[in-house]
Amino acid sequence: MRSSGVRAQTATGPGPHGESWERLEQLYRSCRDDLYAYVFTLLREPSAAEDVTALAFERAYRRQRSFDRRRGVERAWLFGIARNAALDELRRRRRHASLLVDPQDPGIEETADGHDEDVLLRRTAVRAALAQLPARERELIALKFHAGLSNAEIAQVLGVSESNAGTMLHRAVQKLRRAVNAPV
């Protein structure tokens, strides 16, 4: 049987990018919660964070062919797209980003016997200290601890060198530690 020269299409897409839908779906499953938490820290509104998270995945889908593995990993590329979408939203609102602390952790609940009281007190102290940090430092902490990005990935998202990202993150964490441990 002679080939017609037309590539067969798979259920996921045509030609050499047939695996792209599956790759994007895997990226979605592995990043959606972290991406939402990060965007939520930037926007402070659950519905806006949901919209921007969806927009980030839509943009990633449309631009998936522009992803270049030599420039970094897909996770950092996706967080960069989400960051730009969130900043677009903030510019649209014409207000400055004021970051919010992490969303409530459903695993920590206050009990009547005060079993988790120490954890809750510590979390409250961290939230208060985060609120005192400048927006850029809160964003760095969100990228590291909400998103779980490496310093190289944070550098890629922010468009700075890896050493610069590491230095800025170190300073932000040190400032946060001092604020949490400061006497009340």
Query: Coil, helix or strand for 150?
Result: coil
Helix axes 162-181, 117-132, angle to 10 degrees: 120
- Residue 64's pLDDT band, with cuts at 50, 70 and 90, is confident
pLDDT reading at 41 higher than 60 = yes
pLDDT reading at 106 higher than 70 = no
Which stretches of the chain are DSSP H helices?
20-43, 46-62, 74-93, 117-132, 135-141, 151-158, 162-181
pLDDT reading at 99 higher than 60 = no
**C-alpha to C-alpha distance for 74 and 22, rounded to whole angstroms:** 13
Delimit the domains of the chain by residue range: 18-181
Q: Please tell me the class of the 18-181 domain.
A: mainly alpha
To 5 degrees, how large is the angle CA 20–CA 22–CA 28?
Answer: 100
As beta bridge partners, residue 32 has none
